[in-house]
Structure 1
Amino acid sequence: MTEIAPSTAADARDRIERGALLIDVRSDAGREANGAIEGATVVAKADVAAFAETLDKDREVVIFCGTTAGSGPVADYLDEHGFKAVSHVDGGFEALRDATGS
């Protein structure tokens, strides 16, 4: 199994600006407590497999959670299932929020 290394928040921001799909896998409680990133698609971790079936595996995907411990396994799952351009954000939501100004 290959582990996807986290990308910097600045790199994630650049990927999003180029059209990458941004996926928020935080809990509802996490979003309620801390806010959201504009344009992110919310997917519960338990629903990632079903959601992945609806996506083009060639589409670039950026995943974030509260920490890389939450987003890393999702990135690894997508990579293992044939997605070609997957990354997740080092520093999670807070780093991405700061980098995007959301």
Structure 2
Amino acid sequence: MSDIKTINADEAYQMVKENKCNLIDIRELNELELTGKVEGANHIPMGNLEVLLDPHSDVYKNGQIDKDKEVVLFCAGGIRSEMSVKSLTDKGFKNISHIEGGFGSISNSSFKIV
């Protein structure tokens, strides 16, 4: 999927540190309960992404997502987040990427797991 913007965990960490992105964990709730959450990440399960990432949704209205920043998705291993970026890009979303290797690579980076 060559039209998918892919970044690594270190690049994502730097973006979060510089407050330049919305980090979104698209794993299911039971996955977060088993492995932990990434500190500072928003949780929006994959099945709810299209609805909740709509600019008119409550997550934008409540300031949970900043529409002026890049949206960075991650899942457990990178497959679902890559598919989600492709799907959302096809629907007209811009400024969206995913973390290669997902939570697996995040857990071996500077991100704090809580």
TM-score by length of structure 2 reads 0.76
Larger Rg: 2
Q: Is 1:99 the counterpart of 2:99 in the alignment?
A: no
The 8 Å contact of residues 64 and 93 in structure 1, kept in 2 or not, is answered as: yes
Match of 1:16 in 2: 16
Q: Deviations over 1:27-70 (max 9, x none)?
A: 11211111000111111111111111134654211111001111
**CA shift in 2, pair 1:101/1:47, >3 Å:** closer
Deviation at 1:82, TM superposition (A): 3.2
Q: Is the 8 A contact 1:22 1:63 kept in 2?
A: yes
Any stretches of 5+ residues in structure 1 without a counterpart?
none
Count the aligned residue pairs.
102
Contact 2:5 2:96 in 1 (8 A): no
Q: Which blocks of at least 5 consecutive residues in structure 2 are unaligned? A: 61-65
Q: What amino acid is aligned across from residue 52 of structure 1 in structure 2?
A: L
1:84 aligns with 2:85: no
Of Structure 1 and Structure 2, which has the larger fraction of its residues in helix? 1
Cα pair distance change 1:44/1:87, threshold 3 Å: same
Structure 1 residue ranges (4+ consecutive) displaced by more than 2 angstroms after TM superposition: 54-59, 77-84
Q: Is residue 64 of structure 1 aligned with residue 74 of structure 2? A: yes
Q: TM-score, normalised by structure 1?
A: 0.84
Amino acid at match of 2:110: T
Mean Cα displacement is larger for which, 9-18 or 51-60? 51-60
Deviates more, 1:53-62 or 1:5-14: 53-62
Q: What is the percentage of aligned positions where both structures have the same residue? A: 30
Give the counterpart letter for 1:43 in structure 2.
Answer: I
